[in-house]
Chain A
Amino acid sequence: MKEFKELQSVWVHQSLHEKPKIDTSKMESRILSLKKKQHIVPAVLGVTILLLLIFLFSHSTKVFNLIKNAILLMSFSLLVRIVVEVWTNIKLNRMNVRDSVATFHQKLNVFEKTRRRVHFIVTPIVLVIYIVAFYSLMPFFKEHLSAFMYTYVIWSSIVFFTVLILFKLISIPKELKLLNSLINEAKAKDVT
């Protein structure tokens, strides 16, 4: 295969820039910062739950059951979202990069399919529960906030939820495309 030998020669002679310096003393801190990044979303959601519960318990004698239920529902939906996020991170961290490529690829496909199924089902449900619970708090806001703040809460929440829903709607076709490509990859492996 003379042609391939030529290609091989072109390949190994491709110009690479100077090798980046790697500082082993900073390696552990780099690994740590990568792990920290994974905790950001659960931490933010966790703080939100905490604030909601603090509000609930500090006003428990003053608020109606409807409002209590709304806050509990909001906390519950956020908690579900945290569980999904933590589960994803744990599963991903357990992926063993030392596995053979075929095994790793197979595990990655299984993980992706499960994760996407969970996201397609759980995320929309969580979002709907959160929005319904939030809007059921409106009578409370109307009673306790100034007219300006009440209008602000209504409009800012409409904008926020619309952007969030649009973002989800846009990301679904992309996710489906990736999932299909992963499935096709798995099929190609069997055919080739």
Chain B
Amino acid sequence: MDNKEEIFNHLYETYFDNVLRMCNGYVNGDFETASDLAQDAFVKVWQNMDKFEGKAKISTWIYRIAINTCLLYKRNSKIESKAIAKQVLYDSQDEDLQEFKLNKMFAAINTLSLQNKSIILLELESLPQKEIAEIMGMSHSAIRVRILRIKEKLSKLVKK
């Protein structure tokens, strides 16, 4: 196994789940499409690995590629036509409650603009705001204000 392959496998193991969750948010809980998108993103990571200059953190670089891959997918306008994540009726069992909340989150995230969607999906992955700003190509202060607004909006929508 050469060095590139070794590094790639490590990145895949470390970041795949985060990227997959993010893609899942973009496609409204359509897990199959999200999985394809996440894999496409990692194909692009592999394709561009030689061009990584080390100016940003590797995670910043991977998240940029992942979000841009989702934006390219949106270009084909398939997201709207995909079914919204299945609705689960409220049940006292914890698991169903979690799924119920998750579906409400997908629906709420889907109401946001593409940029706000990207920002909140990164925030949900607990990325530092400075890194989110770098990924998005916006100032730290602008991101801070934006995150606060989106968090409030999202919480309200899920609570409804």
A residues near B, CB below 8 A? 1, 3-4, 7-8, 10-14, 16-17, 19-20, 22, 24, 27, 30-31, 95, 97-105, 108, 112, 174, 177-178, 184-185, 188-189, 192
Interface bin, chain B: 35 or more
Q: Is the CB of A192 within 8 A of B146?
A: yes
Given A13, A17, A102, A192, which contacts B149 in the complex, CB threshold below 8 Å? Answer: A192
Q: Is the CB of A188 within 8 A of B64?
A: no
Closest chain A CB from B67 CB (angstroms): 5
Could you say which residues of chain B place their CB within 8 Å of the CB of A97?
A: 44, 48, 64-65, 68-69, 72
Could you say which residues of chain B place their CB within 8 Å of the CB of A105?
A: 71, 114-115
Q: Is the CB of B65 within 8 A of A98?
A: yes
Could you say which residues of chain B place their CB within 8 Å of the CB of A98?
A: 48, 51, 61, 64-65, 68
B124 within 8 A of A: yes
Q: B155: nearest residue on chain A (CB-CB)?
A: A3
Given A14, A30, A185, which contacts B114 in the complex, CB threshold below 8 Å? Answer: A185
B21 within 8 A of A: yes
CA gap between A112 and B17 in the complex, in Å: 30
Q: Is the CB of B71 within 8 A of A101?
A: yes
B87 within 8 A of A: no
Q: Is the interface of A mostly helix, strand, loop or mixed?
A: helix
B116 within 8 A of A: yes
B residues near A, CB below 8 A? 5, 8-9, 12-13, 16-17, 20-21, 24, 31, 35, 39, 42-44, 46-48, 51, 61, 64-65, 67-69, 71-72, 75, 77, 98, 101-102, 105, 113-116, 118, 123-126, 134-138, 146, 149, 151, 154-155, 158-159
With A3-B155, A19-B16 as known contacts, state yes or no: A174 contacts B77, CB within 8 Å: yes
Q: Is the CB of B64 within 8 A of A99?
A: yes
Given B47, B68, B105, B151, which contacts A99 in the complex, CB threshold below 8 Å? Answer: B68
Given A1, A19, A188, which contacts B155 in the complex, CB threshold below 8 Å? Answer: A1
Given A3, A19, A102, A185, which contacts B17 in the complex, CB threshold below 8 Å? Answer: A19
Q: Is the CB of B115 within 8 A of A10?
A: no
Could you say which residues of chain B place their CB within 8 Å of the CB of A103?
A: 137
Could you say which residues of chain B place their CB within 8 Å of the CB of A3?
A: 155, 158-159
Q: B118: nearest residue on chain A (CB-CB)?
A: A101
Q: Is the CB of B39 within 8 A of A101?
A: no
